[in-house]
Structure 1
Amino acid sequence: MYIEKVKKNMNLPETVRILDTTLRDGEQTPGVALTVDEKIRIAKKLDQLGVNTIEAGFPAASEGEKEASREILSLGLDAQVCGLARTLKVDLDAAIDCDVDYIHTFIGTSPLHREFKLKMSKEEILSKSVDAIEYIKDHGIIAEFSAEDATRTEFDYLSKIYKSVEEAGADYINVPDTVGVLVPTAMNWLIGELKKDINIPISVHCHDDFGLAVANSLAAVEAGASQVHATVNGLGERAGNASLEEVAMSLITRYDIQLDMRTSQLVNLSEFVSRITGIKMPPNKAIVGENAFAHEAGIHVHGVLEKAETYEPITPEMVGHTRRIVLGKHTGANALRSKLDEYGIEMTEDQFCTVYDQIKNLGDKGKKVTDADLKAIAVTILGRAKKQIVKMEGFAVMTGENVMPTATVKLRIHDEVKTAAKAGVGPVDAAINAIQSLISETAYIELKEYHIEAITGGTNALAEVFVIMSDQDGNNATGRSTREDVVMASVEAVLDAINKILMVI
């Protein structure tokens, strides 16, 4: 609504091209090194997604980089294949030898780069920039020029160098915010001023040192930039680059700029790149994170279940995601009912309340309740004996190094409270021995089978215990319990089975 009010003041381009630099700048992420095969696999997925240009690497850097560029070119992708090169002839020749469609050449222009890195004058840098563009165009290749550290370069000089490379035949100029120092209003101003004198498309390459790479990229588009450099998951040097998925979805849904992109593949691509690079995404990562479409708070879940748009700006399917209703201490009754309905689990109101209370209790203990946990808890509640002839009144266990495991159990049996303490080979065995000793006066019931399973990983996983108990007449009954405490789960499962047997005696 409010975006529409300010759009009329923007100089939005009709279309925006995406140059993906995951295979080049993304690979410069500390700790990331891609093989040729891995680059090929990522390139195929980028092409399937629909990016316009793939920066395949830096051919002059190594033979592996050259091989990767050649192999990617041989795939016959729809996307253009770009090679990075300094304004040095040796770099340009390395890229040209790979037969790339597109060369992105660069040289530092800021005072810092001129004085400390290049030790060159403004005139020398300008001359090298023009020569590089002319050399690329003499070979019939698309040329993009970057003034490295543009956002710390004096504007008059920056404008002069961009106009000079445009006159030399450059197809694109690129404005790199090399160390991510701009804020969106400054980026908007800079692109707007450059647009007054530059007639070829303007591209931007933003870094995320202050968390502003996406915002600066969008500010540039608002001022008329028609190409954005981005990486999958925002990979890149230091804090990374503008995130491809965030830029793309913002352009499409916030600015109504249509991209040639199959956005439903974004999550798959993100997860694929994360696995290959070993760089895991935080769960709250926008668009593609595990929690991007996850809801726990009762108010939010209720709204989403009634109409998804109340708490979701886009549909999860649009990016290949799925909506998740997360269970925990913030869970509301509507969320729990929705989950139970999803799994076809029908319950009485009392059973539902029991499950609800257990979910809340686990959440208060900091436990993340998974769908597997919920199903196990629900099955346990549904399978409980209808009548509690034997009830737990108290329980304690003692175990440790050089200590005989001992359990003390207090049960109410037919309204009579009894207590027993027994030892065992372990705390579970001791607890079951104590229960059997108390029940023996009522009926002879023994344990036939005992199974335990951790539902989810981790030391705080819920334990699901399943038992089969039998009496002297051959009556068998199953018992089940799901708890974070293995011993308590075992005790509850045994008592559940005992109650079922006593009901038929």
Structure 2
Amino acid sequence: MSQVTVHDATLRDGQHAVQHQLDVPQLRAYAMAASAAGVPVVEVGHGNGLGASSRQIGYARLDDTTMLETVRLGLTTGTSRMGVFMVPGWGTGTDIHRAADCGADVVRIAAHCTEANVTRRHLGLVRELGLEAQAVLLMSHMTSAKRLAEECRRATEYGAQAVGIMDSAGHYLPVDVSERIGAIVGAVDVPVIFHGHNNLSMAVANSLAAVEAGASVIDACARGFGAGAGNTSLEVLVAVLHRSGHETGIDLPALLRAADVAHDRLMSGPPVIDSVTLASGLAGVFSGFKPRVLTAARAAGVDPLDVFAELGRRQVVAGQEDLIDEVVRSLKAAS
């Protein structure tokens, strides 16, 4: 029986589903419920992390400090640590200092899958502040298992105490995950992380494959709350892990109550796999682009599925939302 640390991203990645508009009562209610269930890490923030609230990718309803202070007070049982996420360029060292002041315990520094070098400075700062430093690679389907293993190994040299990959586009099948996680586990001597999305309805299966390949930190969101087709469903993941003989330390009945809180308080309905989110997963494009793709495609009279296919061909990543309009214009001109 292995021990798996479940990292709950409901109050961070889930923000994508509501355009980063969660308010104080919503954050507090879910934090208290997750804490009561014994969830090990509760991550909070703008969907794109510390410092990301902006015109280009969306303004959050609350500033980072308010979000962090609210969740810190909501983790009332003492069993849950508070996590934050930051992409260098959106966030800065100042944001990390502020998160530390607000009581963050775990800081994840994220980078594109071939660019772990950009995490060096901030991982060092996190360690200097005495917090747990983690590094994750985004859009990890865009490179090989060998390259991911090398980038993760490099991140450990920079101070990462856990490393791993995000299936940001929901593009993987279990065999893909097994290959990549296995390569990373063989290259590092720290816990390995997997973060799945559900565009191909594979998120729980991919997460289980990750655990069986040696990952020991798995991300999930209550009811799969997240952009497009959503994230790995937290309560389903924990149930499957327990049935498979893996220990999480989470009280499943209490977690089901937390999932009900998320359903009732955070979202209008659980994420669904529709034609657009399926197309984005197949194309390997971050499904957080969905609202903007739909708006631009409908205005121009082009098929959003064609837009996602072209974005995938161009290997567009989060932060390049301005290319959506360019792609729509090119498809309109060619029609």
Q: C-alpha offsets along residues 286-322 of structure 1, whole Å, 9 cap, x if unaligned?
A: xxxxxxxxxxxxxxxxxxxxxxxxxxxxxxxxxxxxx
Partner of 2:294: none
Q: Which amino acid in structure 1 is aligned with residue 245 of structure 2? A: D
Q: Which residue of 2 aligns with 1:103?
A: 107
8 Å Cα contact 2:32/2:75 also seen in 1: no
Distance in 2 of aligned mates of 1:107 and 1:126: 6
2:66 alignment partner AA: E
User: What aligned pairs does 1:194-273 form with structure 2 within 5 A after superposition?
Assistant: 194-253=184-243, 255-273=244-262
- 1:40–1:68 contact (8 Å) kept in structure 2: no
What residue is the counterpart of 1:79 in the other structure? 80
1:79 and 1:70 map into 2 onto residues whose CA distance is: 14
Shift in alpha-carbon separation, 1:231–1:136, aligned structure 2, 3 A: same
Q: Distance in 2 between matches of 1:235 and 1:204?
A: 17
Q: How many residues end up aligned between the 2 structures?
A: 256
Residues 275 and 215 (structure 1), Cα distance of their counterparts in 2 relative to 1, 3 Å cut: same
Local SS of the residue matching 1:220: helix
Q: 2 CA distance for matches of 1:75 and 1:277?
A: 15
Q: Deviations over 1:331-371 (max 9, x none)?
A: xxxxxxxxxxxxxxxxxxxxxxxxxxxxxxxxxxxxxxxxx
Matches of 2:166 and 2:211, distance apart in 1: 14
Pick aligned residue for 2:5 from 17, 26, 33:
17
Does the 8 Å CA contact 2:173/2:206 hold for their aligned counterparts?
A: yes
Please state how far the C-alpha of 1:90 moved relative to its aligned partner: 4.2
After TM superposition, give the deviation of residue 101 of structure 1 in Å. Answer: 0.9
* Structure (1 or 2) with the greater helix fraction: 2
Percent identity (aligned): 23
Change (3 A) 1:126 1:281: closer
Structure-1 residue corresponding to 2:317: none
**How far off its partner does 1:281 sit?**
4.4
Residue pair 2:162, 2:191 contacting (<8 A) in 1 also: yes
Superposed displacement of residue 32, structure 1? 6.4
For 2:123 and 2:19, how far apart are their aligned partners in 1? 33
User: Matched residues in 2 for 1:103 and 1:37: separation?
Assistant: 24
Structure 2 counterpart of 1:178: 168
Provide the C-alpha distance between the structure 1 equivalents of 2:40 and 2:266, rounded to a whole number of angstroms.
23
Matched, 1:26 2:17: no
CA-to-aligned-CA distance 1:260-302 (integer Å, 9 cap, x gap): 11111233222221121233349xxxxxxxxxxxxxxxxxxxx
The one-letter code sitting in structure 1 at the alignment partner of 2:51 is: A
Quickly say closer, same or farther: Cα 1:47–1:156, change in 2 above 3 A: same
Structure 2 CA distance for partners of 1:219 and 1:126, relative to 1, 3 Å: closer
2:66 matched to which residue of 1? 67
Runs of 4+ in 1 over 4 A off after TM superposition: none
Distance 1:67 1:59, change over 3 A: farther
> Helix, strand or coil for the counterpart of 1:82?
strand
Structure 2: distance between partners of 1:231 and 1:159: 26
Instruction: Kindly indicate whether structure 1 or structure 2 has the higher relative contact order, using CA contacts under 8 Å at least 6 residues apart.
Output: 2
Amino acid at match of 2:256: V
* TM-score normalised over the length of structure 1: 0.48
Change (3 A) 1:86 1:25: same
Deviation at 1:75, TM superposition (A): 4.5
TM-score in terms of structure 2 length: 0.71
Q: What is the SS of the residue equivalent to 2:82?
A: strand
**Whole-angstrom distance in 1 between the partners of 2:15 and 2:90:** 24
> 2: distance between equivalents of 1:147 and 1:281?
26
SS in 2 for 1:29: helix
1:48-59 alignment runs, 5 A limit: 48-57=36-45, 58-59=49-50
Q: Which residue of structure 1 lines up, in the alignment, with residue 24 of structure 2?
A: 36
CA deviation after TM superposition for structure 1 residue 244, in Å: 0.3
Q: Which has the higher strand share?
A: 1
Say whether 1:91 aligns with 2:92: yes
**What is the root-mean-square deviation in Å for CA atoms of aligned residues?**
2.1
Name the CA shift for 1:265/1:198 in 2 (closer, same or farther; >3 Å). Answer: same
- Runs of 5+ unmatched residues, structure 1: 1-12, 111-124, 283-505
CA deviation string 1:446-480 (max 9, x = no partner): xxxxxxxxxxxxxxxxxxxxxxxxxxxxxxxxxxx
Say whether the 8 Å CA contact 2:50–2:95 is kept in structure 1: yes
Q: What is the letter of the counterpart of residue 154 of structure 2?
A: S
* Aligned residue identity for 1:193: A
User: Does the 8 Å CA contact 1:73/1:81 hold for their aligned counterparts?
Assistant: yes
Matching residue within 107, 124, 136 for 1:146: 136
Do the aligned partners of residues 31 and 147 (structure 1) sit closer, same or farther apart at CA in structure 2, a change above 3 Å counting? closer
The answer to whether the aligner puts 1:274 opposite 2:248 as a matched pair is no
Corresponding position of 1:159: 149
Is the Cα–Cα contact under 8 Å of residues 225 and 267 in structure 2 kept in the other structure? no
Q: CA deviation at 1:126?
A: 3.8
- For the pair shown, which has the larger CA radius of gyration, 1 or 2? 1
Q: Deviations over 1:200-239 (max 9, x none)?
A: 0001000111111111000000111001100000111111
Report the AA paired with residue 67 of structure 2.
A
Gaps of at least 5 residues in structure 2 are 54-61, 272-335
Q: CA deviation at 1:33?
A: 2.2
User: C-alpha distance in 2, partners of 1:103/1:236?
Assistant: 20
CA contact (8 A) 2:164 2:193 kept: yes
Inter-partner Cα distance in structure 2 for 1:94 and 1:257: 35
* Partner in structure 1 of residue 299 of structure 2: none
Residue 167 of structure 1, CA deviation: 1.5
- Decide whether aligned partners of structure 1 residues 189 and 90 sit closer, same or farther in structure 2, where only a CA change above 3 A counts: closer
